[in-house]
Amino acid sequence: MKNINATLDTDEKYITIEGVLHSVIDHRTFDDFGGTLESFKVMDVMANVRVVYTNDDALTFFEDEFVPYSIDELAGEED
């Protein structure tokens, strides 16, 4: 896990990661034993998708590993 510099917009539709605006395309919340983990699947303007997580109500964010993938790869149309 590595911490990233990210800020969630107030309406939770956008997140700025390291100065780059991303659209939130999926948001999931897991609650268990008083702890909450949220995941945000986000996409930048170049269609690179990544998943970031927070466990403190979007004060800090982290990710497992930065492996961007494109819409073509998601659709199985990679070269």
Edge to edge, the sheet with strand 61-63 lists: 2-4, 61-63, 49-54, 35-43, 20-32, 14-17, 6-8
**Distance separating alpha carbons of residues 63 and 67, to the nearest angstrom:** 10
As a whole number, mean pLDDT of residues 54-77 equals 75
pLDDT band at 24 (very low <50, low <70, confident <90, very high): very high
12 belongs to a structural domain: yes
């997140």: which residue's tokens? 15
14 belongs to a structural domain: yes
Question: pTM of the full predicted structure?
Answer: 0.77
Flag whether pLDDT at 6 surpasses 90. Answer: yes
**Distance separating alpha carbons of residues 70 and 62, to the nearest angstrom:** 20
15 belongs to a structural domain: yes
70 belongs to a structural domain: yes
Considering its fold, how many domains does the chain have in total? 1
